[in-house]
């Protein structure tokens, strides 16, 4: 079954999931492997890279969290979560075997079909690597359908670079993995500085056939988009994944509105030419 053929689930249905595994990534950030308690729910559930779920804790609330696992898997659902509020703080206090609710998947993900035949620049800042990992899995599964792939990943420190155990496998699959940190420790031997410094150094063979996808802090994405444009990548080939206060996840409550866009249903992945004007307004 291809991802595009999947019929969406009822957006208001909350399904029970159990925590199967917890991996501590860094202080305040952990990756949760969830499994549906009712096996038939797993058979019905499919997501596209870049989509998100609403994780529900009874008596506490819901929080929007991007999927960070393999979209072609069907045995567990993976979310990398940073403690940032009541829901995520309560989740951090749970352990293997505990249960919670899951509603989704929601939103529009990365433009997998539009990447076919293109070179791809992937730029991640900090926890922005989590929504991009499913895209990396998908591109590795379709490796012959795309050209060159660069992955530029930055964080404040080396401890903030996610999924380090997978980097070598990604390199073996032909992905040019480049890493940078703002504040190096004594063991760091890689690049130092913001991700845009590495984006600026890329030499594109065919900029008109290159797509750039980016997720991270909003200011970082604005500057990354500008760097992509300097390389000759057109604004309709630059894609950003935005984070806003998503509460209903279906565009009814209006909390996540940015200009004419509702990030929960029109995004979270949106083309830069649709965002450029609004992202230029600080604190919008």
In a domain, 217, yes or no: yes
| pLDDT of amino acid 7 | 43
Peptide bond connecting 268 to the previous residue in cis, omega within 30 degrees of 0 = yes
- In this predicted model, what pLDDT tens digit does every residue of 21-40 receive, in sequence order? 999 999 999 999 999 999 87
Is the domain of 117 the same as that of 256?
A: yes
Percent of the chain exceeding pLDDT 90 equals 80
- Judge whether residue 42 has pLDDT over 90: no
- Judge whether residue 250 has pLDDT over 50: yes
Average pLDDT estimate for 42-53: 90
244 lies in which domain range? 112-279
CB 50 within 8 Å of CB 110: yes
232 half-sphere exposure, CB direction, 13 A CA radius: 11
Is the domain of 275 the same as that of 140?
A: yes
HEC secondary structure over 102-171? EEEEECECCCHHHHCCCEEEEEEEHHHHHHHHHHHHHHHHCHHHCCCEEEEEEECCHHHCCCHHHHHHHH
Is the domain of 153 the same as that of 208?
A: yes
- In this predicted model, what pLDDT tens digit does every residue of 145-200 receive, in sequence order? 999 999 999 999 999 999 999 999 999 999 999 999 999 998 999 999 999 999 99
Is the domain of 208 the same as that of 238?
A: yes
Average pLDDT estimate for 254-265: 90
CATH number at residue 63: 2.40.30.10
In a domain, 180, yes or no: yes
Looking at the 3D structure of the chain, how many domains does it have?
2
Is the domain of 96 the same as that of 140?
A: no
In a domain, 284, yes or no: no
**Which of 71, 106, 141 is where one domain is finished?**
106
| pLDDT of amino acid 94 | 97
Pairing, β 77-82 against β 29-36: antiparallel
- Judge whether residue 4 has pLDDT over 50: no
Please, what is the Cα angle at 78 between 147 and 150, to 5 degrees? 20
In whole angstroms, what is the distance from residue 234 CA to residue 173 CA? Answer: 27
Angle between helix 272-279 and 218-230 (nearest 10): 120
Is the domain of 143 the same as that of 63?
A: no
Is the domain of 81 the same as that of 156?
A: no
Is the domain of 65 the same as that of 165?
A: no
**Which of 106, 139, 157 is where one domain is finished?**
106
Is the domain of 128 the same as that of 14?
A: no
CATH number at residue 174: 3.40.50.80
DSSP secondary structure letter of residue 5: G
In a domain, 267, yes or no: yes
pTM of the model: 0.93
Q: Which H/E stretch holds residue 78?
A: strand 77-82
| pLDDT of amino acid 5 | 40
């Amino acid at each position: 079954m291809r991802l595009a053929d999947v019929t969406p689930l009822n957006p208001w249905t909350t399904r029970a999931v159990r925590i199967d595994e917890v991996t501590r990534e860094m202080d305040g950030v952990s990756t949760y492997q969830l499994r549906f308690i009712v096996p038939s729910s797993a058979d019905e559930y499919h997501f596209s890279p870049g989509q998100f779920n609403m994780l529900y804790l009874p008596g506490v609330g819901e929080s929007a969290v991007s999927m960070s696992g393999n979209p072609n898997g069907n045995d567990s659902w993976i979310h990398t979560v940073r403690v940032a509020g009541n829901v995520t703080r309560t989740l951090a206090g749970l352990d293997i075997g505990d249960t919670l609710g899951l509603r989704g998947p929601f939103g529009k993900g990365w433009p997998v079909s539009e990447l076919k035949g293109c070179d791809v620049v992937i730029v991640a800042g900090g926890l922005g690597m989590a929504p991009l990992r499913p895209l990396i899995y998908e591109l590795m599964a379709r490796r012959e359908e795309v050209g060159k792939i660069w992955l530029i990943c930055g964080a404040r420190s080396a401890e903030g670079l996610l999924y380090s155990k997978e980097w070598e496998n990604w390199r073996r699959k032909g992905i040019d993995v480049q890493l940078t940190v703002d504040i190096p420790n004594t063991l760091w031997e890689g690049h130092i500085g913001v991700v845009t410094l590495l984006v600026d150094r890329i030499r594109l063979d065919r900029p008109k056939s290159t797509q750039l996808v980016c997720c991270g802090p909003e200011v970082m994405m604005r500057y990354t988009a500008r760097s992509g444009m300097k390389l000759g990548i057109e604004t309709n080939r630059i894609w950003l994944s935005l984070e806003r206060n998503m509460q209903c996840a279906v565009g009814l409550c209006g909390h996540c509105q940015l200009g004419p866009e509702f990030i929960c249903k029109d995004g979270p992945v949106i083309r830069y030419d649709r965002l450029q004007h609004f992202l230029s307004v600080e604190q919008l």
